[in-house]
Structure 1
Amino acid sequence: MRIGFVTLSGLRLVNAPLLEMELSFPAISRRAAEIAALPNLGLLTLAGMTPRRIDVEYLEVPDANSFEAPSHFDAVAITALSATAKESYQLAAKFRAHGTQVIIGGLHATLAPVDVKPHADAVAIGEGEMVWPEILADLERGTLKSVYDARAKGFFDLRKAPMPSFHLLDSARKPRFTVQTQRGCPLSCEFCASSMRLSPFK
């Protein structure tokens, strides 16, 4: 079995009317390049949890519109933010057109699983590490469920986190890596939902 881990890289500069007017955003473009240089730690951690009998690849997609989805994957895991949800759905549709099973997780899937469900074969809610072994087992059995809710399983112990699969990164990319030291937030700001919807501070 072969699984792809797919993420959109950088900031999205895809407002069609603005692009048609050929407006440039130099400050935003510089920031987008900096963000694009950072790999997706969540997906690389899931790749690190994946048994070696399964082939894995990591794909960074700078532009969902021009992206041509490869057809050799049995399944792909796509992470989605609410700001990039539509583009994530574009990616999902391109993979599903090849018969590839699509699992969508991340913050948007956790906050709006009903919105995600029509675009994926499976939705992963909450911390991916809690449900990834079950998803893999179901993929191998051919019994993938439509929803995997990590919230019913408690919270992931970061001390048990595997080493992210940094070896999957393109060797030509800038040598930038992210390190996870904590999750959640100790504050309860009234304008932010993280303390209520995400894992507790740890």
Structure 2
Amino acid sequence: MRILVVEDEPVLARMVAIGLRREGMAVDVALDGSTASEMVELTSYDVVVLDRDLPEVHGDTLCRWLTTSSMRSKVIMLTASGALEDVVDGLRLGADDYLCKPFEFQELVARIHALARRTTSVVPPLMSRGGITVDTARRHAEREGRSLSLTVKEFGVLHTLMEADGAVVSAEQLLERVWDAHADPFTSAVRVTMSKLRAKLGPPDPIRTFPGTGYQLC
């Protein structure tokens, strides 16, 4: 899951990003509305966590643009004001959800998962294929009843392959979905993570490699 956190308070933005990454999400951060608009044009995000009071481009303007464009990103608007009229204004701008500061982190996580399920392709929280089961709600995976102890990135790669439902997934797509904007496109991270994931899945190897093209969960 790819998330963009748009928040002008650097400490809060950093803490939210760290927490979401620990939840297995690929997270990018923008500290102002102008940077956020540029990032959204370059990357497809599942959910944008958007502070309302932003410098350069106001959160209201960015929200209106996001929700009236062809982009599929869902928007959670953050605000320091919990007044009813502010909540109503935010929803009228097109925000999919609204969260007042201060907020409980686990509530933010739950709302992100709920919105991500409402993107264009509906993916069930429990997926099974070829004896492999992935439970996104509990972030748990198993093969033939054997529990798999996966790292955040290994789980993200497996989840992405499961979502593809037999289609070939490129290394670039895995970098975009599982890592973030700081991932080096020439890194060996995907290859190394794939190797470790295969070792944990055990034989027979359920992942087929297409050199120069990508990977497929058979």
> Normalised by the shorter chain, which TM-score bucket?
0.3 to 0.5
- What's the TM-score once normalised by structure 1's chain length? 0.45
Bigger Cα Rg: 2
More contact order relative to length (CA 8 Å, sep ≥ 6): 1
More strand as a share of residues: 2
